[in-house]
Structure 1
Amino acid sequence: MSASHDVVVVGAGPVGMLLGCLLAQQGADVAVLERSLAPSASSRAVGIHPPGFAALAAAGIGDDIEHAALRIHEGVALCRGRRIGTLSFADPVRMLTQDRTEAHLERRLREAAPRALRRGIEVRDLRTTTAGVEVETSEGAVAARLLVGADGTRSFVRERAGIGWERRDPDVRFVMADADDLGEHRGSALLHLEPDGVVESFPLPGDRRRWVVRTDGFRADGPRADGAAGERTWSRAAFAALVEERVGARLDTATLSEPSPFAARQQLAATFAQGRVALAGDAAHEVSPIGGQGMNLGWLDARALADRLRPRQGGDDPWGAYARDRRAAAGRAMRRARFNMTMGAPCGGALLAARNAAIRGLAGPPLRGVLAGAFTMRGL
């Protein structure tokens, strides 16, 4: 391994690789260290919002994403089969599974800096020196003028830097799976705000649709998950039965992917930068993953960092206003996510009627544009 770099990025997820691309384009000597030997094949975030797409375009893969992704121009809110609001997006949300987006990022990073991405490297320690940061890895020590932790919610970099991690809200439980899209709303994102909890679905390339179901409030006599105590394991049949009971949609279990339960959490680092160490993406903030907003927020972190680390910038305060501005943006994203979680919570009676009336008002003039901007991550 090279002994010294301008910047070492820990974590080769979508945020770490984007930052590596942007820094390499600026002529920086960057190393991106990743513990995993191969990219993850799991499909997690899918939504690429306009600001996130602009960041990907700045890294040189805008045309690739545009060609591969499905464009969404409309979001529809429903309750008990009736439409209660519609939002139109002048600048579309692009839908592409995270594994495919990461493949484009990795290809671009290898083009921009063939030796930057180093897989199978475990970071074991880090310490500040007079010249920057020394990183102890499974293959020896690496020195860097600056270190960025993009290593996820359980960030080793954050922990070793002594940066606190604050829980903001209780967990909200969901389960998701993909199936063939056989419905009447092809091309539209659907938000079913049902008494038993929200069901969201998003079209994907290849005539597929992702279904995300809130499960922390489903009725005790409803379809149950398979498995024992702890994290539930959902069968395809149980997931399909829950979607049908909740919204009436019949999913073809033969085309259904393995259901994946997860918890939507809101957590925030006490600071996004300390000394010669900065955090980006999920290492800095965990925001509800519905619609890919957490991934997009991380891309905006990466772009802000790359702008700050352009040649001839830095000095005694290498991060500048990055920590303050991006932490404030994460706080705004969390407030929006909290609103979304509240709107999607189980409710009935007068509260359900009031919620639906509020959504009709928000989806109509003059607030329609404000709500559409929030959903497409404007202002973050």
Structure 2
Amino acid sequence: MAEVLIIGAGPVGLFMAALLLQEGVDVQILEQRSAPEPHSRAIGIHPPALAALAGTGVSEALVAEGVPIRRGVALAGGKCLAQMSFAGVSDRFPFVLSLPQGRTEALLERRVNELNDGALHRGVRLIRLTDDGARVTVEAVSGRGTLSYAAPLVIAADGVRSTVRALQGVALRAKEYPDSYLMGDFADNTGFGPDAALFLAGAGIVESFPLPGHLRRWVVRLGAGDPPAAGDPPAAGGATAGGQRDDSQGGDALWLMRCVRERTGLDIDAGTNSMLSSFGVRTRLARRMVTGRVVMIGDAAHEVSPIGGQGMNLGWLDAAALVPIATAAMRRQQVDGALKNFERTRLRAAARAARQAEINMALGRPLTDGLLGLRNRAIGGVAAVPAVNALIARRFTMQ
């Protein structure tokens, strides 16, 4: 019997496992995927999350592979309206790191394997969970048949479609949004280098972020008559690739190329497209994160709009806050009050992130010419005030 069972080996579950293993806790991780997710999905790692990740010794490797985004620029009509520097948001990590989720997961999994190369079990799907008040028993299926695991504590990091949350009967507060987006990764020929760029067009915002390997992600806000968003909203973190489709060389890549040209005046090469995904947006906040000896973290507990890149980071900060409580529980210390405070503060953080995401989406919606000019002048005026600019930079980077 393990001391802690973690359900889900995405970036949040792997980080949770690495933190606990470093504390000497016996951890087992159950993951239903037989192999890691190959697509880029979430890309943005904010300074507080990088500081937390440093606790596992992986932050240096992440920074070495990623692109530090130290500045964002807002443009309209070919002119720069505003600039935002992240130089003052953190002494140690004064940037937002851009790195595909697949590489982030690989580096975290490597760290887990360094600590215990038998902790991760892939191809294992949870089907039943029983909490008797002293321990939690988990039944699962795999290619080897039905399996049983038990531990005094279960931590669910199994994403937006959380099986654990469903089995525990935890209710959600859900909100659907009219916004939908199409995004893709292409060769970067823009000259923006490591800067993020936001194009404030009347037809809807276009966001552009650098990626390693001289690539750039483009995210376009869809409007009436544009290709519909497919599938469920994406998983946690930055502009992500939920509802992945194998059409990266198809018509939608050409549509995205034409849309970028119309809204920004820039040309991208559709033939270099390496990922393409469309997604809608919703917020779903669990009414509880703690049920008996089961704790939900990350997207299992709170799904927020990927616009702003907060989801994956929220999950990491959940994990960092939970580690001292989990280790205290393993030492048979009383943790009921600490768990209640954890649940209260982390749900409050998720609600705050959801509100910030709503603001981000509202700023990028289509506008008539008159309202567009008013909005763009307002953005330029606000950004010209150094104190306000610095405050917005801190909010944008989850400080």
- Could you tell me the TM-score, scaled by structure 1's length? 0.92
Q: In 2, distance between residues paired with 1:301 and 1:16?
A: 11
Give matches, 1:1-380, under 5 Å.
4-90=1-87, 91-138=94-141, 139-215=146-222, 217-218=223-224, 220=225, 225=227, 235-311=252-328, 312=331, 314-315=333-334, 317=336, 319-365=339-385, 366-378=387-399
- Tell me, what secondary structure is at the counterpart of 1:267? strand
Q: In 1, distance between residues paired with 2:296 and 2:215?
A: 34
Partner AA of 1:93 in structure 2:
V
Q: Provide the alpha-carbon RMSD of the alignment.
A: 2.1
Q: In 2, distance between residues paired with 1:8 and 1:274?
A: 15
Q: Deviations over 1:123-170 (max 9, x none)?
A: 001011131211111142211111111111111101111111221342
Q: In 2, distance between residues paired with 1:22 and 1:226?
A: 40
Post-superposition offset of 1:303: 0.7
Q: Deviations over 1:309-353 (max 9, x none)?
A: 224375261724111000000011011000001001111233212
Structure 2: gaps spanning 5 or more residues: 88-93, 233-242
Post-superposition offset of 1:273: 1.2
- Tell me, what secondary structure is at the counterpart of 2:206? strand
Maintained 8 Å contact 2:2/2:151:
yes
Post-superposition offset of 1:235: 2.6
Q: In 1, distance between residues paired with 2:177 and 2:231?
A: 19
- Could you tell me the TM-score, scaled by structure 2's length? 0.88
Q: In 2, distance between residues paired with 1:303 and 1:358?
A: 38
Q: In 2, distance between residues paired with 1:133 and 1:214?
A: 44
Maintained 8 Å contact 2:157/2:297:
yes
- Tell me, what secondary structure is at the counterpart of 2:152? strand
Maintained 8 Å contact 1:34/1:118:
yes
Post-superposition offset of 1:363: 1.7
Q: How many residues align?
A: 370
Q: Deviations over 1:215-265 (max 9, x none)?
A: 1x25x4xxx549999999753212211111121111112212242111222
Maintained 8 Å contact 2:325/2:335:
no
Q: In 1, distance between residues paired with 2:50 and 2:229?
A: 39
Q: In 2, distance between residues paired with 1:227 and 1:21?
A: 36
Q: In 1, distance between residues paired with 2:231 and 2:347?
A: 36
Q: In 2, distance between residues paired with 1:236 and 1:247?
A: 16
Q: In 2, distance between residues paired with 1:93 and 1:228?
A: 28
Maintained 8 Å contact 1:236/1:258:
no
Maintained 8 Å contact 1:46/1:291:
no
Larger deviation, residues 199-208 vs 347-356: 347-356
Post-superposition offset of 1:173: 0.7
Closer/same/farther in 2, CA of residues 171 and 106 from structure 1, 3 Å limit: farther
Q: In 1, distance between residues paired with 2:107 and 2:45?
A: 13
Partner AA of 2:39 in structure 1:
S
Post-superposition offset of 1:358: 2.4
- Tell me, what secondary structure is at the counterpart of 1:202? strand
